[in-house]
Structures are given as structure tokens and as C-alpha cells.
Copies of this chain bind each other. A is one copy, B any other.
């Protein structure tokens, strides 16, 4: 897969995924689900008050006859109800509706009724950067710009593993993860560089599987073979990253927004690590971006 249209086509060919929307009484979420449904990507299950959902659908002139609606006992129960639908085997992808992300993730991580499988949940962004043809013509994945604030070494290993899982579903058979730091040497006064060295070795020793890991790398020598050569980095992986692993949420989030706002990148995002993928689109996301994220969820399910 080379483009977002490839992702849409692959999701469509796979058949509509059962998207369970937690608290669906929201215009922008309903519009996104309708577009995904019409595109053959989603078979939506709307969790929320039927009266409220129908009122909004009425305003949007949406026909809900193809939609399944599940009413929770109360508004506060919407996230837990959506999780139950999935636990019963009736849903493939969880979609955040009109509730705070924290509430949805709380229900997902509930020890008894939740969807956890003992691995950290992490966010993976999938980007196409217009200017990046100079370096590469492929998807670039970035993690974790949304969930893990300051991950420990074992958490970073799981974050890499989660990203490998997404990369495989995009057809990247042996993805290369670059562990980003401020520079490419191990520096005891920069703990991120020591974590990076450990993660690279963990992949060599089979403690992380499904791809290759290189680090510490600065961003330039992660994505540009020329920059890596210039720095005298002798590694067959340097400059060839499929996945950029940031040291913490600040670096990841700032890079994420830099790619979108300064580099004009197109993006889809997803949370992985639970039993099903989770789509956490926000109101600020474009309709196109939401559709891509739902399609990505379908591929990763």
C-alpha cells in the first residue's frame, strides 16, 4: 500500500467492519460513520440515546435504517456498553463518539469487563508527507503522540511492538523502527539515547519481534540515508525508517503537528494494544482524516 486510497480500497475489499461508536449522538461522528458506511468500509453500531441520535440524524437528513442502535442504561454507561458489545463478539472496531477520550480508555482498560490484553495501549499515526519524496515514497508511522506520557523502556518496547503490528497490516513486511533522540550517539545525560540503544539490542535479541529497530537516531538520519551517511553512521537501517518512535508524548505530539501543520501531511490515526483497534478522531479532524482512520481500523482489526 502506497496511498490512503490503497488503504480505503483494501478496507473495502475486506468487507465492512462493525464499528461500535461510543456515544454516537454527535453530528461529526454520524457524518463520518455515514461516509464510511456508504464507502463499504463500516457497518456501524451506534451506542447512545436513540432519541438523541435520531434527532441529530433528522437534522442531517440521515437515514438510520441501515444502522443498529444500542441504548445504554445511562449516558455515563455509553463507553462501558460499547465495550460490552465488542466483548460479546458483535463489534470489530471501537470508535470514540461524543465522550472524553479518557472515559473511553477507562472503560477499555477496565480489569474485568474491558478489552485489555496486558499490553500498553498506544497511538500510531500513519502519514504521507508531500515533501518527503526527497527521502522516501512510503507511509511513515509515528508513535506515541497521544497516550503514553513518558514511557519506560519496557513500555517503549511494547509501543514498538504495537507499531509493528500496524505496519504489517499496511503491507510493510519487515518494518524498520527508528528510536528518535536529539542525536545519534549514546549520551548518559540523555536517557532517551540509552533507551534507544537498549531497544535496538532488544530487537536483535528477539525481545521485540516482527521488524528491525535502530537507534539512537536524530530525525534527519532516521529518514534520510544521505543525512545518515553524512554523519558517518554505519547502519543498514539508518535513513530508512518506516516507524518513528518519539522519546515521549511532547516530542511525539509536536512532531505529529509539525507534519500536519508545517509539512502538509495527510494522516490517519489509531490506538492499538487492546483486543480491537480504537479510533479516537476528534472534532478538529477533517472528514477525510476520519474516514482514513476508520479504514485503518478496519485493516488492523
Contact = CB atoms under 8 A, between A and B. Distances in A.
Contacts of A131: 262-264
B219 A261 contact: yes
A265 B255 CA distance: 15
Interface string A179-199: 011110000011010000000
B149 A190 contact: yes
A181 B251 CA distance: 8
Interface string A151-194: 00000000000000000000000000000111100000110100
Interface string A235-268: 0000000000011111111110111111111000
Contacts of A149: 182, 189-190
A13 interface: no
B218 A257 contact: yes
A182 B253 CA distance: 5
A284 B255 CA distance: 22
A255 B253 contact: no
29 contacts: A129-B262, A131-B262, A131-B263, A131-B264, A132-B262, A135-B261, A145-B182, A149-B182, A149-B190, A180-B250, A181-B253, A182-B254, A183-B253, A190-B249, A218-B257, A219-B253, A220-B261, A223-B262, A227-B284, A231-B284, A247-B250, A248-B251, A250-B250, A251-B254, A254-B255, A255-B255, A258-B259, A262-B263, A263-B264
10 smallest CB-CB distances across A and B, nearest first, come from: A219-B257, A182-B253, A262-B263, A251-B251, A263-B263, A258-B258, A182-B249, A220-B257, A250-B251, A247-B250
